[in-house]
């Protein structure tokens, strides 16, 4: 029987199709290229691919500005190429979810074009118009570096239109039942094609109400619940993953009683992994796990270290944000909006120990881990590129000048390859790391494998374990007495001896190497090298 709860202990992998592999030699990644790399992803061990928007789009927000919801961007190939990809992925046991942008369209979408030209068009009411730009003044601006208002004037319409993101992304009007139905039909279209679900983009902002901050409104939840109900009836086993960059108590309602989203990103825990690591102190993690409410049994968090956006610092205090900027984005170019536009390896000084330690948290804290393409080989970034392009550069497959990304001259790539030492393809690439048993890529492969073999890491409850030293983040993941895993992370650059007496008489078996055993009665302390981590089964 099909496992309807497959996502509870799955490992996700986020793919930007343009960046992954170019199959037709035009310098841009496409579905043919991605299909040719599926065996790599199978060997990596991930379970589900998350495909960033692949729809026709003027690409002013890299495809999050959709001008046609039911086709494939010509850069990425044809609908047939997409179907071939999907079948090939499914044949290999991989699930595929795609981005679903509900909140807004591109201003090039025919609906918006019709709406702005003609006040009597049925499409006029697909968007949110006003003769003043002062409505909903309590709604924050998200892209603060570029946008000064959530309203933009449209000459053709003679009115202002509402947008939570770029002005080229007008918000849809969810008070209009036709909009609700259109988007449900989009959902149906892709599910009928066989995809396994959606990463639902920017869901807190669907409705607007005066006197509120226009986020997480009851009307928004009601619509999303109806969407979920539709999926449950016709497409059981397909999932909705919620992108709500909110505090845990505000994300909690998106799970409903197990009748809204299956999954939700845990945004606030992400910066706290970086905070804990830099401070050598687990307190930020203790604080946020304590503030995270339980979720229904059928639901799951998604944890991540980095993604295609800036490392957002919205879910921290202003003081913490300043500190994070100072520590992790010392140069102004590294900052964007309320975040940091850098990749994982450069953020962590390209220090293998710290990068592994961050991943140790990713794979063992509650939730299903999401890996951002390229982070599994320690790719670098380029802060000189615009917007978030610096973390969206071509995947580095091999050491050749074109990095194996495309057959065309690298000068024609959609974005330049990373060339800054030591992150260029001659050093950082898939082929080199696959053939090196001790490479970072092979460590990630082992982490993925161990995660999948141990149901407790997906299903288990979570509890902190007293470790003596605040620099040690030690916690238990467990499913009752049956399977208990002790995870120990040394957040500091100093060696630490962690007493094991609190565990009683136990045998601890290393999850990476079962020949490594500790008898707590004989060895009452665990010696942790700087930035070391251990994943241990309690027997
Ligand atoms: C989400 C996406 C981001 C995009 C925004 C607007 O936050 O992750 O990349 O710019 O939505 O669609």
Q: Please tell me what DSSP assigns to residue 141.
A: P
Q: Which two tokens stand for residue 210?
A: 């005066």
Question: Please, are residues 328 and 354 in contact by the beta-carbon 8 Å criterion?
Answer: no
Pocket test for ligand 1, best of 309, 312, 388 (most atoms within 8 A of CB): 309
- Neighbouring-strand partners of residue 240: 198
Q: pLDDT value at position 480?
A: 67
Distance CA 38, CA 23 (A): 13
Probe residue for ligand 1, chosen from 15, 50, 54, 61 as the CB with the greatest number of ligand atoms within 8 Å: 61
Mean pLDDT of the chain: 97
Top pLDDT among 199 and 503 is at 199
| β strands within 212-283, DSSP E | 239-242, 263-265
CA atoms of 68 and 53, how far apart (whole Å): 11
CA-to-CA dists, residue 365 to 273, 282, 301, 446, 476, angstroms: 10, 13, 10, 17, 9
| Residue 194: closest CA among 161, 226, 234 | 234
Given 201, 309, 310, 375, which residue is catalytic? Answer: 201
In contact, 173 and 124? CB cutoff 8 Å: no
| Axis-axis angle for helices 177-193, 79-91 (nearest 10) | 60
Annotation says 26 is catalytic: no
What percent of the chain is predicted at pLDDT more than 90?
98
Which tokens sit at 476?
A: 């238990």
Instruction: Say which of 30, 243, 375, 389 is annotated catalytic.
Output: 243
Closest CA to 174 of 221, 229, 118, 119: 221
Classify residue 200 as exposed, middle or buried by CB count within 10 Å of its CB (0-12, 13-18, 19+).
buried
Q: How many CB atoms lie within 10 A of CB 257?
A: 9
What's the CA angle centered on 18, arms 314 and 302, to 5 degrees?
40
Residue ranges with strand state E in 158-278: 159-162, 197-201, 239-242, 263-265
Q: How many CB atoms lie within 10 A of CB 285?
A: 22
pLDDT (tens digit per residue) in 115-174: 999 999 999 999 999 999 999 999 999 999 999 999 999 999 999 999 999 999 999 999
Q: What is the dihedral of CA 444, 2, 193, 109, to 10 degrees?
A: -60
Positive or negative, the CA dihedral 290, 294, 298, 302 is: negative
Q: How far is the CA of 298 from the centre of ligand 1 (A)?
A: 26
**pLDDT tens by residue, 37-93:** 999 999 999 999 999 999 999 999 999 999 999 999 999 999 999 999 999 999 999
Chain centroid offset of residue 518 CA: 36
What value does the mean pLDDT take over residues 500-518? 94
Residue 522: is its pLDDT beyond 60? Answer: yes
Average pLDDT over residues 261-265: 98
Q: In this predicted model, what pLDDT tens digit does every residue of 20-36 receive, in sequence order? A: 999 999 999 999 999 99
List pLDDT tens digits, range 438-473: 999 999 999 999 999 999 999 999 999 999 999 999
Centre a 10 Å sphere on the Cβ of residue 320 and count the other Cβ atoms it contains: 15
Report the candidate in 230, 273, 266 with the shortest Cα–Cα distance to residue 248: 266
* Residue 507 CA, ligand 1 centroid: distance in Å: 47
Digit-coded pLDDT (tens) for 227-251: 999 999 999 999 999 999 999 999 9
Residue 295: the pLDDT is: 98
Q: In this structure, which residue's CA is closest to atom 4 in ligand 1? A: 64
Distance from residue 202's CA to the centre of ligand 1 (Å): 7
Cα–Cα distance between 360 and 533 in angstroms, integer?
A: 7
CA 199 to chain centre: 9
Give ligand 1 pocket residues (Cβ under 6 A): 61, 64, 101, 165, 201-202, 243, 308-309
Residue 215 contacts by C-beta under 8 Å, 6 or more apart in sequence? 139, 204, 205, 246, 250
Whether 201 is a known active-site residue: answer: yes
CA distance linking residue 322 with residue 306, whole number of Å: 19
Compute, in angstroms, the gap from residue 97 CA to the centroid of ligand 1.
16
Closest CA relative to residue 312, chosen from 283, 276, 337: 337
For residue 483, the model assigns a pLDDT of 86
Cβ count near 470 (within 10 Å): 15
pLDDT of residue 482: 75
Residue 383 alpha carbon to ligand 1 centre in Å: 19
Residue 431: in which H helix or E strand, if any?
helix 430-434
Number of alpha carbons in the 13 Å side-chain half-sphere of residue 419: 10
pLDDT value at position 1?
54
pLDDT on residue 306: 98
């Amino acid at each position: 029987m099909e496992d309807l709860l497959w996502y509870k202990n799955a490992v996700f992998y986020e793919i930007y199709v343009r960046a992954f592999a170019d199959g037709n030699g035009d310098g841009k990644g496409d579905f043919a290229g991605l299909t040719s790399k599926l065996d790599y992803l199978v060997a990596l061990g991930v379970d589900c691919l998350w495909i960033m928007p692949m729809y026709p789009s003027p690409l002013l927000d890299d495809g999050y500005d959709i001008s046609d919801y039911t086709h494939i961007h010509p850069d990425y190939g044809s609908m047939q190429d997409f179907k071939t990809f999907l079948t090939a992925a499914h044949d290999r046991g991989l699930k595929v979810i795609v981005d679903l942008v509900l909140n807004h369209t591109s201003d090039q979408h025919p609906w918006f074009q019709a709406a702005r030209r003609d006040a009597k068009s049925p499409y006029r009411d697909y968007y949110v118009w006003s003769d003043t730009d002062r409505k909903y003044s309590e709604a924050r601006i998200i892209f603060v570096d570029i946008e000064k208002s959530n309203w933009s004037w449209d000459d053709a319409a003679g009115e202002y239109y509402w947008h939570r993101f770029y002005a080229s992304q007008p918000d849809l009007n969810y008070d209009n039942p036709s909009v609700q139905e259109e988007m449900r039909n989009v959902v149906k279209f892709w599910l009928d094609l066989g995809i396994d679900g959606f990463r639902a983009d920017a869901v807190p902002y669907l409705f607007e109400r005066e006197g509120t901050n226009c986020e997480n409104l009851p009307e928004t939840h009601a619509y999303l619940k109806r969407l979920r109900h539709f999926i449950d009836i016709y497409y059981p086993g397909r999932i909705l993953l919620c992108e709500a960059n909110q505090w845990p108590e505000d994300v909690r309602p998106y799970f409903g009683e197990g009748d809204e989203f299956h999954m939700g990103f845990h945004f606030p825990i992400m910066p706290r992994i970086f905070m804990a690591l830099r401070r050598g102190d687990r307190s930020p993690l203790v604080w946020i796990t304590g503030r995270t409410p339980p979720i229904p049994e059928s639901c799951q968090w998604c944890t991540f270290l980095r993604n295609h956006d800036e490392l957002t610092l919205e879910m921290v205090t202003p003081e913490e944000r300043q500190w994070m900027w100072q520590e992790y984005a010392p140069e102004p170019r590294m900052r964007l909006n309320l975040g940091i536009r850098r990749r994982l390896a450069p953020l962590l000084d390209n220090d293998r120990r710290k990068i592994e330690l961050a991943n140790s948290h990713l794979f063992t804290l509650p939730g299903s881990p999401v890996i951002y393409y390229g982070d599994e080989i320690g790719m670098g970034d380029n802060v000189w590129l615009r917007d978030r392009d610096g973390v969206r550069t071509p995947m580095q497959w091999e050491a050749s000048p074109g990095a194996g990304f495309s057959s065309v001259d690298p000068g024609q790539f959609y974005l330049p390859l990373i060339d800054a030492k030591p992150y260029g393809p001659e050093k950082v690439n898939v082929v080199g790391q696959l053939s090196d048993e001790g490479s970072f890529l092979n460590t990630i492969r082992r982490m993925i494998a161990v995660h999948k073999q141990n149901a407790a890491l997906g299903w288990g409850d979570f509890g902190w374990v007293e470790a003596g030293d605040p620099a040690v983040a030690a916690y238990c993941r467990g499913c009752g007495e049956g399977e208990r895993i002790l995870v120990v992370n040394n957040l500091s650059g100093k060696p630490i001896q962690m007493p094991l007496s609190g565990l009683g008489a136990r045998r601890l078996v290393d999850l990476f190497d079962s020949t490594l055993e500790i008898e707590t009665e004989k060895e009452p302390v665990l010696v942790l090298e700087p930035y070391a981590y251990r994943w241990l089964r309690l027997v």
